[in-house]
Amino acid sequence: MFLNYMNAFRALAIFFIVFLHTMHVFSWDNNQTQEKILRILFANGTIFFVFISGYLFQHLSAKFSTNKYYVSKFKNVILPYIVISLPVVLYFVFISPKHIEPEFIAMPEWLQIIHYYWFGLHIYPMWFIPTIALFFLAGPIFYQIDKHAEAYWIIPSLIIISLITPRSLFPTDNFLHFLSIYVLGMFSSRYKELVNQTIVKNYIIFIIFVAFVSLFLIEYFALMAGFKTIGYLQKLALIFFCLSLLVKYQKYTHHELITTTANASFGIYFVHAYVLAVCKLASNFFNQYFLNNSLQNIPGNIIFQFLASGIVLIMSIWLVNFIKNLLGDKTYLLIGNIPQSRARQANV
């Protein structure tokens, strides 16, 4: 059964990620309050993708086959990660090192290549791929957890682990940080009928919203922006606030733009860093020759930020569709499997 509200959630998740990364196009030195608000709200949007991954893993678990699962994830995630990263990795290893620490430069080239791929630091958004690969590797374990309902009682313990294990450069740390969210997604899918019936009640939506706003304000005034404890709890509340609205108003989520964005979401994740690099060069050129005669970034504000994010998102969708039309059934080599963008009509 196709879950249109989760498809819309995928579109929302990729917008959060593109929005945060687009902030690097601007200079926020003269608008630090707006910057702080936006960063607290949109930071760690990857947590949405982890929740959705766990949700859909459980939703499709009736057809789970270990071999097919591993082959599919390698073909549609790991392989395109290797291919699309290769030019950048080779550039940093053989032409212009990104890491100039003596101990790194002293490594053999093959070890440097492994380092870039394992940590995903050659292109900033790619840090997530080695992390999600660990979740793929643990797929059979998650399948066994779902087969034994009592195993979900581990969630409170996993949340504690997430709170004491912040995001870092290490995929293993990130795996532990996001583990509770992934299993919580599985739980929300396994009991989706009960969960969905509960979270669409107006007073529940209000309670979740108050929790989110309270945590947002705590993070803002406590100067704790980022991926620390409050940020994790704030995003946890935001997940269920967004889910409650998407379930309650899912009849409004059948828009072609939402479906197109959702279907292209993983491809957008792969290509939007390249689009952002082009946009940043263009904005710097425009700023230098037409605005401030400066090489610095254009000053940012909320209006410019939303406009730029929309432009980057649309350009990324266009690039994904261009690659799909160019490569056809070989699209997975660069950006994974991209479904057709035709809007679903069934209200499920």
| DSSP state string for 132-182 | HHHHHHTHHHHHHHHHSGGGGGGHHHHHHHHHHS---S-HHHHHHHHHHHH
pLDDT in tens for each of the 348 residues of the chain?
788 999 999 999 999 999 999 998 888 888 889 999 999 999 888 999 999 999 999 999 988 999 999 999 999 999 999 998 999 999 998 888 877 678 888 889 999 999 999 999 888 889 999 999 999 999 999 999 999 989 999 999 999 999 988 888 899 999 999 999 999 999 999 999 999 999 999 999 999 999 999 999 988 887 554 456 888 999 999 999 999 999 999 988 888 889 999 999 989 998 998 899 888 887 777 766 666 655 567 788 899 999 999 999 999 999 999 999 888 888 888 888 777 654 443 333
Are 194 and 149 contacting, i.e. CB atoms less than 8 angstroms apart? no
Residue 248 lies in a domain: no
CA distances, 97 to each of 2, 127, 275, 337 (Å):
45, 18, 22, 32
Report phi then psi at 26, rounded to 5. -105, 165
Q: Residue 128: inside a domain, yes or no?
A: yes
Altogether, the residues listed in the chain come to a count of: 348
Any domain includes 36 = no
Give dist(CA 7, CA 230) in Å, integer.
27
Alpha-carbon distances, residue 4 vs 22, 48, 171, 225, 346 (angstroms): 27, 16, 31, 32, 8
Q: For residue 336, what pLDDT is reported?
A: 80
H or E element at residue 99: none
Question: Taking the mean position of all CA atoms in its chain, how far away is CA 229?
Answer: 19
With respect to residue 5, please indicate whether it lies within any of the assigned structural domains: no
Nearest CA to 344 out of 250, 268, 233, 266 is that of 250
pLDDT score at 295: 56
**pLDDT of amino acid 293:** 55
Contact 302, 38 (CB under 8 A): yes
Q: How many domains in the chain?
A: 1
Examine residue 259 and state whether it is found in any structural domain, yes or no.
Answer: no
- Give the pLDDT score at 298: 78
CA-CA distance, 272 to 317, in Å (whole number)? 9
- Is residue 326, in this structure, part of any structural domain at all? no
* 141 within some domain: yes
pLDDT value at position 342? 46
For residue 169, the enclosing domain spans 50-242
Any idea what the Cα angle at residue 288 is, between residues 282 and 289, rounded to 5°? 95
Contacts of 56 (CB under 8 A, 6+ apart): 3, 6, 185, 189
Residue 197 lies in a domain: yes
